[in-house]
Amino acid sequence: MTSRWMKPVVALTALLGAAAGAPDQGLAAAAEAPPVPLLADTIINGVAGFGIRLLADLSGRQPGQSVVVSPYGLATALAMTAEGAAGTTRSALTQLLGLGDMSSEDIATGHQALRTTLSAPDAAGAAPVIANSLWGGKGVTFAEPFQARQRQAFAAVAESVDFASPDATKRINDWVSTATSGKISQIVPLLPPTTPLVLVTAVHFKGAWETAFNPAHTRDQPFTLPDGKKRMVPLMIRTDALLSYRESPEFQAVTLPYKGERLGLTVLLPSREGEAPAAFLENAVKALMASRAEPDRAVTLSLPRASLTFNAELHQSMDALGAGIAFTQAADFSAMTTSKVLLDRLLHAVSLTIDEQGTEAAAATAVTLGRGFPSRNAVMTVDRPYYLLLHPLGDLRTILFLAYVADPQPPGP
C-alpha cells in the first residue's frame, strides 16, 4: 500500500474532473477558460494557504491555547461573499483566498467541482456534509447573477427573514444545528433589525478509523504543555499499525485513514516547540507533498484522545490578512445589492473530537452584513503540542479541519 499523503496530485484533479461533469447552465466557462480540474486545483491551493495563515494569526493572538478552524468552510463562506463584491473589495477577498484575478465564473465552476467531489459518498458510504445558506432581510433586493451563482455553485438555500424578530436568529441557529448534527448549536447572536443578509456555511464529518484503537490499551501519560508544564492525558496506543509515516529533522508525520480510504487525518509532531506555525506548516506540507510514494510502514503510535472547541469573531484576523476593507465604509458590494452594505461580523465555530473509534468534526461560519455601520517500527508519541489536518487522502491542500493542539482535552465518556 502506498503512502496516503503522497499520491500524485493528478489523481485528485482527474477525480474532480470526473465528478464535476457538465457545469450547471449559466456556469459554463468560456471556451478559452482553464479546464474545471485546474480551476478546482487553484481553489484547493488557496484553501491550504489561507488556512495556514489564519491558524498562525489566531495562534499568535492566543499563545499557548489550542486553535481549530475549518479552512474549507471559511473559504467557502468568503468566496460566496466575494461573489457580491466589486472593485478593490473583491480583489482583497480573492487575494486573501489565493484566487488572484480569477473571474466569478471560474471561481463558481471550481467551487462547484470541489464541493461535488467532497460530498460524494465513499466506499463506506461516508462523506462530509456540506451545507450553505443565505438569509435575506425584508425589503432588500439582491442582484440576480449573485443569487444564481449562490444556488448553482454553492448549492445555497435562500430564506427570507425578518431580523426584527428573534425568530430570525433562532431559524439560522436551528439550521446550523441540523446541518452539523447538533455539534454546533449557535453561530449567530441576536442580530440588528436592519441586517440585510447573513451567509452561512456548515461542514460536518463523522468517520471511523480504518482500524480502531483498542480502548483497553489507552493509558494516562504525561503531555508537555507549551509553557513546559506537564499534564496527564489519555494516550490511545496502537502497536500494529501499518501507516503512511514520514520523519525528518523538523517533524514526524503519520496519516490515519478513515473507513472507505478517502479521507484521513494527518498528525504533524514538530521536533522543536516554538517554531512559527505558518512557517512550520507550510514547509511540512510542501515536504510531504513532494515526497516520493513509499510503502506504509509499521508504527507504534501514541495519540491523545482530544475534544476541541473554538469560537471566534475573525474581524481582526481579516484586517491582518489584508481583507479589512470589506468591513469599512469603503466596501463595495454593488454586485450583490444596490443598497449600501459592508461586512459586519465574521463568526466561526468549530468542534473536533478524536477517540479510539474515529473522529467527529463540525464547523459553522456566518458572514453578517450591515447597512454601513460599523523498517524497524517507527515510534511516534504525541506528548507535546501538535497539529492536525483532516483532508482527502492523497491531497494535503483541501484541508477540511486544521488544528494546533496545545492542550488536548479528552472527550467525555
CA nearest to 152, candidates 56, 248, 55, 80: 80
Same domain assignment for residues 301 and 316: no
Q: What is the pLDDT of residues 70-108, one digit of tens each?
A: 999 999 999 999 999 999 999 999 999 999 889 999 999
Same domain assignment for residues 43 and 122: yes
CB 396 within 8 A of CB 5: yes
Residue 250 lies in a domain: yes
Indicate the burial class of 95 (C-beta count within 10 angstroms; 0-12, 13-18, 19 or more). middle
Same domain assignment for residues 167 and 220: no
Residue 69 lies in a domain: yes
Look up residue 335 and give its three cell numbers: 454586485
CATH value at residue 241: 2.30.39.10
Same domain assignment for residues 179 and 268: no
Task: Give the helix/strand (H/E) hosting 193.
Answer: none
CB 217 within 8 A of CB 238: yes
pLDDT surpassing 90 at residue 139:
no
Same domain assignment for residues 285 and 389: yes
CATH value at residue 349: 3.30.497.10
- CA dist 393 and 391 (Å) reads 6
Residue 234 lies in a domain: yes
Quote the crossing angle between the two packed helices 36-61 and 277-290, to the nearest 10°: 150
Q: What is the pLDDT of residues 145-187, one digit of tens each?
A: 999 999 999 999 999 999 999 899 999 999 999 999 999 999 9
CA nearest to 219, candidates 190, 239, 243, 195: 239
Residue 4 lies in a domain: no
CB 75 within 8 A of CB 50: yes
Write the CB contacts of 350 (distance below 8 Å, at least 6 apart in sequence): 68, 69, 70, 184, 308, 309, 310, 311, 361, 362, 363, 401
Same domain assignment for residues 162 and 66: yes
Residue 412 lies in a domain: no
Residue 321 lies in a domain: yes
Asked which of 32-41, 58-67, 110-119, 366-375 is least confident by mean pLDDT, the reply is 32-41
* pTM for this model (two decimals): 0.85
Same domain assignment for residues 105 and 251: no
Q: How confident is the model at residue 36 (pLDDT cuts 50, 70, 90)?
A: low
Residue 356 lies in a domain: yes
Residue 7 lies in a domain: no
Look up residue 114 and give its three cell numbers: 470541489
CA nearest to 267, candidates 294, 231, 221, 299: 299
Same domain assignment for residues 113 and 123: yes
Q: 139 lies in which domain range?
A: 34-207+307-370
- CA dist 19 and 158 (Å) reads 25
The answer to whether the Cα torsion of 396, 397, 399, 403 is positive or negative is: positive
Same domain assignment for residues 262 and 388: yes
Same domain assignment for residues 229 and 103: no
Quote the crossing angle between the two packed helices 104-119 and 36-61, to the nearest 10°: 80
Q: How confident is the model at residue 18 (pLDDT cuts 50, 70, 90)?
A: very low
Query: How many domains is the chain built from?
Result: 2
- CA dist 193 and 373 (Å) reads 13
What is residue 248's DSSP assignment? -
Q: What is the pLDDT of residues 286-314, one digit of tens each?
A: 888 777 657 788 999 999 999 999 999 99
Q: How confident is the model at residue 372 (pLDDT cuts 50, 70, 90)?
A: low
Q: What is the pLDDT of residues 376-396, one digit of tens each?
A: 567 888 889 989 999 998 888
Same domain assignment for residues 296 and 344: no
Give the pLDDT score at 413. 61
Q: Which residues pair with 233 in a beta bridge?
A: 221
- Residue 311 to residues 69, 348, 351, 375: CA-CA distances in angstroms? 9, 6, 9, 43
Write the CB contacts of 257 (distance below 8 Å, at least 6 apart in sequence): 4, 209, 210, 263, 264, 393
Same domain assignment for residues 274 and 382: yes
